[in-house]
Chains A and B, each alone.
Chain A
Amino acid sequence: MENTETEKIIVIKDVYKKYKGRMALKGVSLSIRKGEIFGLLGPNGAGKSTLLSLLATIVPPSKGVITVQGLDLRKHKKKVREQIGYVPQDLALWEEFTVKDNLKFWSKLSKRKKSKEELYKLCEKVGLGDRWNDRVENLSGGMKRKLNICIALIHEPSILIMDEPTVGIDIQSKFEINRYVKELATEGTTIIYTTHDMSEITTICHRMGVLKEGQMDFIGTIEEAKQKAENEGWNIKNQEELIYHVLK
């Protein structure tokens, strides 16, 4: 992946965000390339969800600039929303509706309405084709997570923002979701992914960023993170040690 200015799909420049009287982000700068899976790590309360909320256009930054494909997020909110798909940490689904009806509802909130066939195809892609007419409340936790991702992909976004998309699910579902995320990246979708699971970061992410107390503490590849830890006198033997070190 070449590191040129034109390939930078998301650019975050010196961003601050005050939230509930407290500075949640303090001068965060970061750029993410097209087709990249960028892992965002950090202890609880470090500002990960706040940063994702800014990128997802839920809240505006207090200070600083965020551009998505060269468009200022403040000025071109609607155009940016066409480009992004957001997978929230909480399951944003109507439990009493069927899988089909959930997809239909979310489809109507996007710019272009998708046909039933298109929605079904998408559903099949994430492995929910056979549950098309089932009510969401009857799905397993893993299936609900897949549907949560599926909804974010309805309008074919070029950027996918995923806030702990695999939290609380079984290993098999986690594996399937990770495989699908990699597939999406291969097809050109840029993915920002937060998790507390280091194995997910090492398996699927091209680069990672570590947020600590609202500031970006580290940005680089897994190898670079290991190298940094070793330079600081740590002997990293496994993923657990690495995550302990990067989050310390």
Chain B
Amino acid sequence: MRLIGLNIKQMLKKWTTLLLFLFPVLLAVGAGGLIEKQGSEIGIPVVFVDKDNSTSSKFVVNRLKKQDLLDVSTATQKEAFRRLGQNKVDSVFIIEEGFEEKIKHEEREGVIKLVSTPSSLTYHIVRELVASEVTRLTSNAKAANRVLAIYDKRKMDIDKEEVWKDAYRYSDDQWEPEPLMTIEYKQEGEKFGNRETKGSFNSYLGLWSFSVLLLCFVMNEWILKERLLFSRMRTTYKGLAAYLYGKLGSQLLFLFGSAALSFGVLSYFHHTLMNLKVLVSMIIFSLFSSMLSMFMASFIRSSGNYYLLSFLVVMMISAFGGSFFPLSDFSPSLAHISAWMPQSLFVKASFAHEYYYSFSAFIIGISVILWGGTVWKIQKQKR
């Protein structure tokens, strides 16, 4: 305890400590806002070839144009394939002739042809978005057809075209005002947000996790700098382990304090849910980041190598864990990797996940193992 206190006193003497303490929240609020804004402006470029040129086909295109995630344009087939060949668009959707007729007959299969390159990262999500619009149209048509069938059964004299249109419109109105792909996160009676699929990713918390990882790697360079002191510490009564635990304690207090501040600020500005699970997840992530950076520092001898490797590790964990963007939406295999990353506890609102507690325990367990490895390695070093 005495060493923790002294370490904190030393930290407070440096003005850079305050900067480091505020770094995660400043980066999260500053750059997070910027990413959210740009994310809504930048869409996946897709092009539609409308061979049917009907009301229904135009409806699909216009509906998709309203999707933030997509940047929709129309072109001839030749032009569309040229753009795809030049990688200017991610995918080409061809609405075949007879699209409207098929929809009216509730046929979904093969009404829209999708052409994409193997390098397309967004194939799955774009396909789902288009499919959802087709589903909407066919469902409306199915409902209208059913109404007509009922009238026919009861042998009622009606204007079939008008009734069909009314029934179709009524059915379509049922999809409003909520967008089709709406996921509502509700946590203990509080409403987190009403976001579309892409919205469940929280760029503020994503950037916060990146900054904490970076911060920990910068803070833990002391292991390399103080290597010469370790052999002398082994000769003291309390030994090297006491010093290492003191250092760990003060660092964790610092990181947990910084996480609590970040949580307070982010929830005050409604960038995250005011939920204890989010705060606990942030603390667990801070613990993991600290342990991982200490572990790496204990195995590397030169500062140059340490910073190079740290940069690579920070970028990899941040990218695969979804700190910068929701990579998991692009492919199932990336989603699988992303689910095993520590920031998956909070960046994709998975604190509501059924495996939250076991995954948290898993991350804590990994952190403890990393700490054990750090102490073992430092104790083993002769100089």
Give chain A's interface residues, CB within 8 Å of chain B: 19, 53, 56-59, 78, 81-82, 84, 86, 88, 90-94, 97, 101, 104-106, 108-111, 113, 151, 155
Q: What string of 1s and 0s marks CB contacts (under 8 Å) between B38-57 and chain A?
A: 00000000000000000000
Q: Once the chains are docked, how many angstroms separate the CA of A59 from the CA of B381?
A: 10
- A153 CB to closest chain B CB (Å) equals 13
In contact, A92 and B237 (Cβ under 8 angstroms):
no
In contact, A113 and B2 (Cβ under 8 angstroms):
yes
Q: Once the chains are docked, how many angstroms separate the CA of A86 from the CA of B237?
A: 12
Q: Once the chains are docked, how many angstroms separate the CA of A58 from the CA of B383?
A: 10
Please classify the interface of chain B as helix (H, G, I), strand (E, B), loop, or mixed, using the class held by over half of its residues.
Answer: helix
In contact, B238 and A110 (Cβ under 8 angstroms):
yes
* A88: contacting residue among B10, B231, B236, B242, CB under 8 A: B231
Give chain B's interface residues, CB within 8 Å of chain A: 2-3, 6, 10, 226, 228-229, 231-239, 242-243, 246, 382-383
In contact, B237 and A109 (Cβ under 8 angstroms):
yes
Known: A81-B236, A88-B231, A108-B2. A58 touches B242 (CB 8 A): no
- A78 CB to closest chain B CB (Å) equals 6
Known: A108-B6, A113-B2. A94 touches B237 (CB 8 A): no
Q: Once the chains are docked, how many angstroms separate the CA of A108 from the CA of B382?
A: 22
Residues of A within 8 A of B237 (CB): 78, 81-82, 109-111, 155
Q: Once the chains are docked, how many angstroms separate the CA of A151 from the CA of B233?
A: 11
| Shortest Cβ distance from B382 into A: residue | A59
- B339 CB to closest chain A CB (Å) equals 42
Please classify the interface of chain A as helix (H, G, I), strand (E, B), loop, or mixed, using the class held by over half of its residues.
Answer: loop
Residues of B within 8 A of A53 (CB): 231, 382
In contact, A81 and B235 (Cβ under 8 angstroms):
yes
Known: A56-B235, A78-B237, A110-B236. A91 touches B243 (CB 8 A): no
In contact, B235 and A84 (Cβ under 8 angstroms):
yes
Residues of B within 8 A of A105 (CB): 3, 6
- B301 CB to closest chain A CB (Å) equals 15
In contact, B232 and A86 (Cβ under 8 angstroms):
yes
Residues of A within 8 A of B382 (CB): 19, 53, 58-59
Q: Once the chains are docked, how many angstroms separate the CA of A78 from the CA of B2?
A: 19
In contact, B10 and A58 (Cβ under 8 angstroms):
no
| Shortest Cβ distance from B383 into A: residue | A90
In contact, A92 and B6 (Cβ under 8 angstroms):
no
- A215 CB to closest chain B CB (Å) equals 21
